[in-house]
Structure 1
């Protein structure tokens, strides 16, 4: 099958998009974004893996390659953290803890350098039944981010109960943010909640100077998007820094 060959031969790479502190313009870290060779986009690759019963295999293969690239690039020598997308079903798989610990040590990385960014392409209620596994990872030093809030399957019980270090607002909030009082009010709501709960709010999808300046005016501290930096191959990221 195409997907078996795709997974076993690792027919994909990753681009890395910077995430910045807006006030200081210091780089917080990078989000790794899969770029498949044999599929038009990552979503189609994951759909094929799901149909073949190999979703966990593809997700962990991607994670392993991302961590190896981060190590080989020497970006891990600095203070930057690496945001890695992971599916809820992968996270609660009984084999995942062993896999992630082994991959971390093989690549000589620290757990506090890794942010496991939960993808919302699946229902997330199952996470609430697996808190013992999640807290073991948090105790070990891993951090968690909730991705694409406002777009996918996230609900408030997951946001409230799960130990997120980062909440990432979907780009729908940032697109023409300066022209929408409703978007402004919602960004302020999440800003205040995150400040109260000591969670770092990240606004995704900043693409224009107007959006960037207005996000700063609203007190958004961390963001990513084309205006701040496009996804690049790891070699280009290293050269750019």
Structure 2
């Protein structure tokens, strides 16, 4: 099946994984994660879309469906913010700002509740134009997150230049955190940076209690991972 047919027939759906404020023991939002029965690994879908020059169509349709699912679940203030994974090339597409405004108007979802989570699996070639587009989106009320910090194409330069509202540390840093002094030191450096720049640090991939306890001891206030809540249909995303 071609990606165009896959997109048009919308043979995909979304699970939502909760993101928690550890200090207040409450959800601050959900990350929308694309799923499909046709392909066990959803990354394959985007790789195919890129090869067929259909990445914007796939990415934007996924965003549209995620917002629709979030809203249809009866999303009120208790659901917090919606984190949407998005490719840099999608953000730079000339049609994207008007598209985003339209689907949010249709869903009656406030811009301030949407966090655009920039995928680090794609190189940002036109940094100046990208930075300008982020400024425009911020003026409209959207928040910006940088995903998978510490892997992919992320760099200190992009973190500084794009001034994200959220920095999401890759799950690598949470894995066996209680056993690694080096990971603890690295996280402390980022935590200090975020405090000084007024951004918020999110630790991804927390899967066991020991990792969670060390994260709390380090002063990490926001985390995400299977120990806190697995990706699921939104109504089933409950605090464990």
Conservation of the 8 A alpha-carbon contact between 2:91 and 2:130: no
Mapped to 2, the partners of 1:175 and 1:230 lie a distance apart of: 16
Conservation of the 8 A alpha-carbon contact between 2:92 and 2:129: no
Deviation at 1:178, TM superposition (A): 1.1
Which runs of no fewer than 5 residues in structure 1 stay unpaired? Answer: none
TM-score, structure 2 length as denominator? 0.96
Alignment size in residue pairs:
239
Q: Deviations over 1:124-154 (max 9, x none)?
A: 2434433222111101100000000011111
Mapped to 1, the partners of 2:23 and 2:154 lie a distance apart of: 29
Match of 2:151 in 1: 151
Structure 2 counterpart SS, 1:32: strand
Match of 1:114 in 2: 114
Mapped to 1, the partners of 2:40 and 2:79 lie a distance apart of: 33
Mapped to 2, the partners of 1:127 and 1:100 lie a distance apart of: 21
Deviation at 1:223, TM superposition (A): 0.2
Q: Which moved more, 1:122-131 or 1:212-221?
A: 122-131
Conservation of the 8 A alpha-carbon contact between 1:88 and 1:126: no
Deviation at 1:38, TM superposition (A): 1.6
Deviation at 1:79, TM superposition (A): 5.5
Structure 2 counterpart SS, 1:147: strand
Deviation at 1:39, TM superposition (A): 1.6
Inter-CA distance 63–127: structure 2 relative to 1 (3 Å threshold)? farther
Q: Deviations over 1:102-124 (max 9, x none)?
A: 11101111000100000111012
Structure 1 counterpart SS, 2:31: strand
Mapped to 1, the partners of 2:205 and 2:51 lie a distance apart of: 30
Mapped to 1, the partners of 2:223 and 2:192 lie a distance apart of: 16
Match of 2:228 in 1: 228
Q: Deviations over 1:180-200 (max 9, x none)?
A: 111011000000000000000
Deviation at 1:37, TM superposition (A): 2.4
Inter-CA distance 235–79: structure 2 relative to 1 (3 Å threshold)? closer
TM-score, structure 1 length as denominator? 0.96
Structure 2 counterpart SS, 1:187: helix
Match of 2:202 in 1: 202
Deviation at 1:2, TM superposition (A): 2.4
Query: How big is the alpha-carbon RMSD for the aligned residues of Structure 1 and Structure 2?
Result: 1.3
Which runs of no fewer than 5 residues in structure 2 stay unpaired? Answer: none
